[in-house]
Amino acid sequence: MIKVTTTELDGVLVIEPDVFCDHRGKYIELYNEQLYNDNGITIKFIQDDISVSKKNVLRGIHGDRQTWKLITCLQGKFFFVVVNCDEESAHFGKWQSFILSEDNRQQILVPPLYGNAHVALSDKVIFHYKQSTYYNRERQFTYAWNDERFNISWPVDNPIFSKRDSL
């Protein structure tokens, strides 16, 4: 069973999988094609990726014109942002943030033409994402994490980021 909720951004969904808990710990089914199809999510995912970050590492804002992404926090807690990066859209620059963690187990479905970024809030974060296309850096767009057009309110003062994410 999964619960699917719409967001303020067109096409962006919050997905909450069932979590089974007992005296041994937790069991979570991260993805079940049939359950997703039954909830109207018929995207075919073909690649899974993981990034591991330490506290205050900020990654993104990246995306492309073709790829759907399903984002999950496997360990820790991060502040996750989705930004409309379609420069032809009346909603260009509109963004929404989410807190994803190993405790809430929420997933975010990010459509093409949306960028996503995250900053690690815990000592260690394991960020998992499924993609509907194979990774191709050449077709990606990148915006600086502090692009003034977006005016994102990041919850850290001095993030750690790559050269790519500061351009």
The phi, psi pair for 81, rounded to 5°, reads -125, 135
62 is catalytic: yes
Cα–Cα distances (Å) from 10 to 15, 83, 87, in that order, read 15, 11, 15
The overall pTM is greater than 0.75: yes
What is the rounded CA–CA span in Å between residue 42 and residue 164?
Answer: 32
The architecture that CATH gives domain 44-166 is: Sandwich (2.60)
129 is catalytic: yes
Exactly one of 36, 62, 118, 143 is catalytic; which is it? 62
Exactly one of 36, 114, 129, 143 is catalytic; which is it? 129
In order along its 167 residues, the chain shows pLDDT tens digits of 899 999 999 999 999 999 999 999 999 999 999 999 999 999 999 999 999 999 999 998 999 999 999 999 999 999 999 999 999 999 999 999 999 999 999 999 999 999 999 999 999 999 999 999 999 989 999 999 999 999 999 999 999 998 787 76
What is the rounded CA–CA span in Å between residue 78 and residue 101?
Answer: 6
